[in-house]
Amino acid sequence: MSVKGKAYVMGAYEHPTRDAPDKTTAQLHAESAKGALEDAGLSFDDVDAYFCAGDAPGFGGMSMIDYMGLKNVRHMDSTETGGSSYILHVGHAAQAIAAGKCQVALITLAGRPRNGGNRPGPSARPGPTGLTDGDPGAGFENIYGGSTHNTYGMCAMRHMYEYGTTSEQLAWIKVAASHHAQWNEHAFLKNVVTVEEVVNSRMISDPLHLLDCCVVTDGGGALVVTSPEVARSLNRPKVKLMGVGEAPKVQQGGKLDLTYSGAVWSGPRAFEEAGVTPADIKYASIYDSFTITVLMQLEDLGFCKKGEGGKFVADGNLISGIGKLPFNTDGGGLCNNHPTNRGGITKVIEAVRQLRGEAHPKVQVPNCDLAIAHGTGGSLGVRHGAATAIFEREA
């Protein structure tokens, strides 16, 4: 069953805080939900479906439904694919709406990693026997000291080896994000940086420098996805879902190519359902946990050939008003916000802003009528879930 045109994102809200010592994770979820519902012109009583992932506290969806006082929920989904969960949830919400399971779906994300809150994701370590009841791969990987930074660094190093990609080319991704973040009053990092500043920042995991890495922030965000009937009743710009795709990429017993992501499967599925091509996209929200994440996903989504990502992102090609493919015009995870280390929901939020014409005037893409949001959740170099969503502004 296709979801093309069968659901609309009618509410979007990004929590303004980046450091929340005085708020609980549940409070951030609820405040984000309130903001998205008000943006759509709806209330908590209108919600009949709720979506969350592993960042939700307590008993996940059930705890948050109780905390927010949602009385009419008849559909729940707590699918967990890391930072890509919320893009995937948009597709799942559309499927539920198309199947008649709900009319108004609320999706929330929140967390407090800067203030001692749990950082979602596998954290199990092998015990004395070498066994673990957490991530089944932990006993084979953690003994080598793997971390987020060095598993992404491996991908970057392999890409450089295979295709001649350079640190300077990766740096252009951070430069583009910083050019956009300067106009975002809530951005965690607002200073514009140069290629030289990126490559001269301290090394974190060769070849990734400090400025190749995303920020760590508290905060949250929420989306409201509705049926076409509900969308038509609301006095808000309509952002229609055109196509979605999702896919896992796993270790496959060690038979792993580090130079590609799950976008090679999720992207084509989304483009096929939407009936468009990468050349049609006016704006791209691309998950940017690290600069290498962006480069590989752009290749895998078809914006350039495999191995040509370095040339594609260089010389300002991702900067709004300058380049051919404006990306992450809010500053992205590299500069603006990466709440609880999960940036998928912010990718949809900024895509919605662009399609509504509500992005900052300095970064608003002219005549933006088609946008993509893509996310990778997990680890690019180990295992992850990929999710792609294509949206269209409805006149």
The pLDDT score that the predictor gives to residue 118 is 58
What is residue 17's predicted lDDT score, i.e. its pLDDT?
Answer: 96
* Beta strands per DSSP E along 170-325: 203-205, 208-209, 219-226, 238-249, 283-286
Is the pLDDT score of 115 beyond 60? yes
Nearest-5° Cα angle at 180, 332 to 311:
80
pLDDT at 245 over 60: yes
Q: Which residues lie below 8 Å from residue 15, measured CB to CB, with a gap of 6+?
A: 28, 31, 32, 35, 110, 219, 220, 221, 339
Q: DSSP of 130-193, one letter per residue?
A: S--SS-TTHHHHGGGT--HHHHHHHHHHHHHHHH---HHHHHHHHHHHHHHHTT-TT-S-----
Other C-beta atoms within 10 Å of 206: how many?
12
CA angle 380, 106, 123 (to 5 degrees): 35
Which domains, from first to last, does the chain contain? Answer: 7-117+218-237 (3.40.47.10), 145-216+240-394 (3.40.47.10)
Work out the average pLDDT over 354-375. Answer: 98
Mean pLDDT confidence for 183-198:
98
- Between CA 27 and CA 2 the distance in angstroms is 35
Neighbouring CB atoms inside 10 A of 60's CB total: 17
| Separation of CA 245 from chain center | 14
Summarised one tens digit per residue, pLDDT across range 66-95 is 999 999 999 999 999 999 999 999 999 999
Helix then strand then coil, in percent of the chain rounded to 5, is 40, 20, 45
What are the beta bridge partners of residue 77?
A: 51
pLDDT digits (tens, 9 = 90+) for 119-165: 554 444 444 445 556 677 777 777 777 788 999 999 999 999 999 99
The answer to whether the beta carbons of residues 323 and 317 sit under 8 Å apart is yes
Residues belonging to the chain: 395
Region 279-303: mean pLDDT is: 98
C-alpha distance from residue 88 to each of 80, 226, 347, 368, 374 (Å): 9, 15, 12, 23, 9
Mean pLDDT of the chain: 94
How far apart (Å, rounded) are the C-alpha atoms in residues 163 and 247?
25
β-pairing verdict for 49-51 and 75-77: parallel
Residue 261 to residue 378: CA distance in whole angstroms: 11
pLDDT band at 166 (very low <50, low <70, confident <90, very high): very high
